[in-house]
Chain A
Amino acid sequence: MRIAVLTGGGDCPGLNSAIRGIVYRAIDFSYDVIGFEEGWKGAIEGKTHRLSLVDVEEIVNQGGTILFTSRTNPFTVENGPDRIMENLKKFEIDALIAIGGDDTLGVALKLYQLGVKVVGVPKTMDNDLSGTDFTFGFYTSVEVAVDALNRLKDTAKSHKRIIILEVMGREAGWVALYTGMAGGADWVLVPEEKPDFEAMCTHLMKDLERKGYALVVVSEGVDISLEEKGEVDQFGHTLLQKRSVGDFVADIISKKTGISTRSAVIGYIQRGGSPTVFDRMLALRTGVKAVDMIQNGEFGKMAALVGSEVTAVPLGDATSKLKLVDKNWLDLLRVFLK
């Protein structure tokens, strides 16, 4: 048995731990493992990467991915799926493990429907994937954001200012919600809820009066109805760094309250770095489970954390709709906006 592994989409802490989990478990079953470089791009172009014990034994704590990644979508590349199948034949690959978010797993599902033996390992920093309670990468990135918020607090407090922190999250506000609650923010804007700037400013003025500063966390994907949309990637996502939501919100506060307000964007810093223990453990466990699923012939599924167990969940459950912040969570958040 020979299996191939690839990592697709944005990189996030824990990818290397997952790759390590896969290679170590594969040894138990005497499987050969190779990697495709740069996600689906490498599968299309036949760019492989050696994955033996020595290649992965020291990467459990490394951020990023040793397999590299890309946002290439094979279904928008000419003969993309055919070329992948040719390469699977050429390299004598019996099963494929795709590590990625909804885009990567969406492609995995389509390939499965075309007859490829695919298993998924879910990954997303935004934690917006359905079918799994948590994905690795999320906690590490929230730690980074909370750390940044704590630093901003020093400056906000010293200068008696309002400061905005813009965090990642295109469609889902999980990162903003966790950062805001765990970092003690005074207001949080998430994409799931239309921003009420009037209420926000009134609230912030109250905070400013009471404690001399205020902090706001905003998701990059919050709808600010800007006319100009930025570039779009191959999956049709607006490349969000072109429009700075944080600056926009800071401007609104400056105008409405007359207090000069600044913003900081966390951006790419949130993607890198060494994974936290939670993320390492989850990544190792999902990696091991993915190989077990191949051994059991459970294809078209992904290794997902449900409750405290890692179980096989149909890929369709992950890709059909995003997991968004719901009313219960927003109510919980409101408990801390006082």
Chain B
Amino acid sequence: MKRIAVLTSGGDAPGMNAAIRSVVRIGFSRNIEVIGVRGGFRGLIEKNFNPLLPRDVSGLLEKGGTVLLTSRTDEFKSEEIQEKAIENFKSEHIEGLIVIGGNGSQSGNFALSKKDFPVMGVASTIDNDLWGTDYTIGFDTAVNNAIQAIDKIRDVATSHTRSFIVEVMGRDRGFIAIDSAIATGADIVLIPEVRFDIGKIIKNIKEGMEKKKLHHLIVCAEGAIYARDLEQIIKSRLDIEIRVSVLGYIQRGGSPTRFDRIIATLFAERALTELIQGETGKVVGIKDNQIVLIPAEDAVTKQKDINSSLYKIIEEVSV
């Protein structure tokens, strides 16, 4: 393989730039020409290709977001579009592709590799919802962003002896919610995967108030319940000062943590190495501290379990 392409797709995640840098520089060291595709899968269709040299990716390690830009992937589900993408590659003599992204992006990986175009994926999404990998690039930074914000909210909660509901990202999965809840000492965490009992939450808060707990901190994933709705429910049943904070997009960006920079660099190296050696249709992730390859189909179709021991511990710690 002499010439490959790299793209980022789906929601941006801190560390994507570090992965791009790794692909470009390691590719250069191994005499492989790397072409950057701008704007995700849309860039494939529009043939938005630019060769990337080591100096083009200087200073990228610490930058959040993605310099290759990104787009959502809905239209890439059509076979016609996929064939068009492969045609575009062939006309530019591009022999393989590295896809940096989460669920939707790795579905694109699966689709193209099924059509016999060599593709390797790099697991990157702040949601951490890819099966087969313990962590995805961007998750650690996003959780740290959430923790930083919730620590500040705790100051306000303590000063005003007020309770807070903090809504974090996670439409379908509660990974961000669970980790940020444990790390900030939240009393209650609500995630989309576990049905929750409003009666029990009310009872918990009531008991806490009787035990002279100064305030309660609830972390909820946006997909479990909207914080504002929960606020209304709690207010209608308890005489309690409670406020809402929706963290939203602030969680996404920012300079990647040491963990995200390192796994980004390692994932990208492995993806490149495997692609050159003829591997395809896989996603690079990390399992038990080892860099691993996950079949793209499994990564996007199988349901990754939440760590139920973490979930249980929150209840026990909050007394």
The residues of A with any CB-CB pair to B shorter than 8 Å are 7, 11, 13, 15, 38, 62-65, 68-70, 144, 147-148, 150-155, 157-160, 163, 212, 241, 262-273
Task: Say yes or no: A159-B145 contact (C-beta < 8 A), given A154-B63, A154-B254, A271-B152.
Answer: no
Q: Is the CB of A154 within 8 A of B14?
A: yes
Is A151 a contact partner of B156 (Cβ separation < 8 A)?
A: no
B residues contacting A by CB (< 8 A) are 8, 12, 14, 16, 39, 63-66, 69-71, 145, 149, 151-156, 158-161, 164, 243-250, 252-254
A64→B155 contact, CB < 8 A: yes
Q: Is the CB of B249 within 8 A of A160?
A: no
A224 to B279, CA, bound (A): 56
Within 8 Å by CB of A266, from B64, B250, B252, lies: B250
Provide the residues of chain A in CB contact with B244, threshold 8 Å: 241
Closest to B249 in A: A264
**Residues of A contacting B145 with CB < 8 Å?**
151
With the chains together, A154 CA to B138 CA distance in Å? 12
Contact of B70 among A159, A262, A263 (CB under 8 A): A159
Task: Report B221 CB to chain A, min CB distance, Å.
Answer: 17
B153 and A151 contact, CB distance less than 8 A:
no
Q: Is the CB of B159 within 8 A of A11?
A: yes
In Å, the complex CA distance between A264 and B248 comes to: 6
Are A272 and B156 neighbours in the complex by a CB distance under 8 Å? Answer: yes
B153 touches A158 (CB 8 A): no
Known contacts A65-B159, A158-B70, A262-B249, A268 near B243 by CB under 8 Å? yes
- Which residues of the partner chain A approach B65 to less than 8 Å between Cβ atoms? 153-155, 157-158
Enumerate chain A residues within 8 angstroms of B63, measured Cβ to Cβ.
Answer: 154
Hey, which chain B residues are within 8 Å of A273, CB to CB? 151-152, 155
- Given A68-B159, A158-B66, A160-B69, residue A272 in contact with residue B249 (CB < 8 A): no
Provide the residues of chain B in CB contact with A212, threshold 8 Å.
69
- Chain A nearest CB from B250 CB (Å) reads 5
Residues of A within 8 A of B151 (CB): 272-273
| B161 in complex: contacting residue of A15, A62, A68, CB < 8 Å | A68
Q: Given A63-B152, A69-B160, A269-B153, are A148 and B250 neighbors across the interface (CB < 8 Å)?
A: yes
The listed residue with most B CB atoms (<10 A of its CB), out of A65, A160, A163, A267, is: A267
The answer to whether A269 and B64 have CB atoms under 8 Å apart is no
- In the complex, A268→B248 CA distance in Å? 13
From the candidates B153, B159, B247, name the one contacting A69 in the complex (CB within 8 A): B159
Contact A267 B69 (CB under 8 A): no
Q: Which residues in B have their C-beta under 8 angstroms from that of A70?
A: 160
User: Measured between alpha carbons, how far is A7 from B156 in the docked complex, in Å?
Assistant: 13
B66 cross-chain contacts in A, Cβ below 8 A: 158
Contacting residue for B152 out of A65, A68, A152, A269, CB 8 A: A269
Contact at B156–A11, with CB atoms within 8 Å? yes
Interface centre among B70, B156, B243 (most CB of A within 10 A): B156
Chain A residue at smallest Cβ distance from B246: A265
Q: Give the distance in Å from the alpha carbon of A163 to the alpha carbon of B160 in the complex.
A: 31
9 interchain residue pairs of minimum CB distance: A272-B152, A151-B253, A154-B253, A154-B65, A272-B155, A154-B64, A158-B12, A11-B159, A64-B155
List of B residues within 8 angstroms of A160 by Cβ: 39, 69
Give, as a whole number of angstroms, the nearest-CB distance from A111 to chain B.
Answer: 22
A299 to B101, CA, bound (A): 63
Task: Pick 23 A–B contacts, CB within 8 A, sort by A.
Answer: A15-B159, A38-B161, A63-B152, A63-B155, A68-B158, A68-B160, A70-B160, A144-B152, A151-B249, A151-B250, A152-B249, A152-B250, A154-B254, A163-B249, A212-B69, A265-B246, A268-B156, A270-B152, A271-B152, A272-B152, A272-B155, A273-B152, A273-B155
**C-alpha gap A62/B65 in the complex (Å):** 32
For the complex formed, measure the closest distance between the CB of B183 and the CB atoms of chain A, giving whole angstroms.
Answer: 16
- Chain A residues with CB under 8 A of B12: 154-155, 158-159
Residue of A nearest to B150 (CB): A269
A63 contact set on B, CB distance < 8 A: 152, 155
- What B residues does A158 contact at CB under 8 A? 8, 12, 16, 65-66, 69-70
- Report the separation of the CA atoms of residues A273 and B65 in the bound assembly, to the nearest whole angstrom: 25
Complex: chain A residue closest to B12, CB-CB = A158
Q: Contacts A151-B145, A152-B252, A268-B156 given; 19 further ones with Cβ under 8 A?
A: A11-B159, A13-B155, A62-B155, A64-B156, A65-B159, A69-B160, A147-B254, A152-B250, A153-B65, A154-B64, A155-B252, A158-B65, A158-B70, A159-B12, A159-B70, A160-B39, A263-B248, A268-B243, A273-B152
- How far, in angstroms, from A265 to B39 measured CA to CA in the complex? 27
Cβ B155 vs Cβ A151 within 8 A:
no
Residues in B neighbouring A147, C-beta threshold 8 A: 254
> Chain A residues near B247 (CB, 8 Å)?
269
Alpha-carbon gap, A231 to B282, bound state (A):
54
Q: Are A265 and B253 in contact (CB under 8 A)?
A: no
The residue on A at minimum CB distance from B153 is: A268
The complex places the Cα of A158 from the Cα of B159 at a distance, in Å, of: 38
| Complex Cα–Cα for A272 and B149 (A) | 9
Q: Please, how many angstroms separate the alpha-carbon atoms of A63 and B39 in the complex?
A: 42
Q: Write the chain A residue with the least CB distance to B141.
A: A151
Measured CA separation A154–B69 after assembly (Å): 10
Q: How far is the CA of A153 from the CA of B66 in the complex (A)?
A: 11
B153 neighbours in A (Cβ, 8 Å): 268-269, 272
B248 to chain A, nearest CB (A): 4
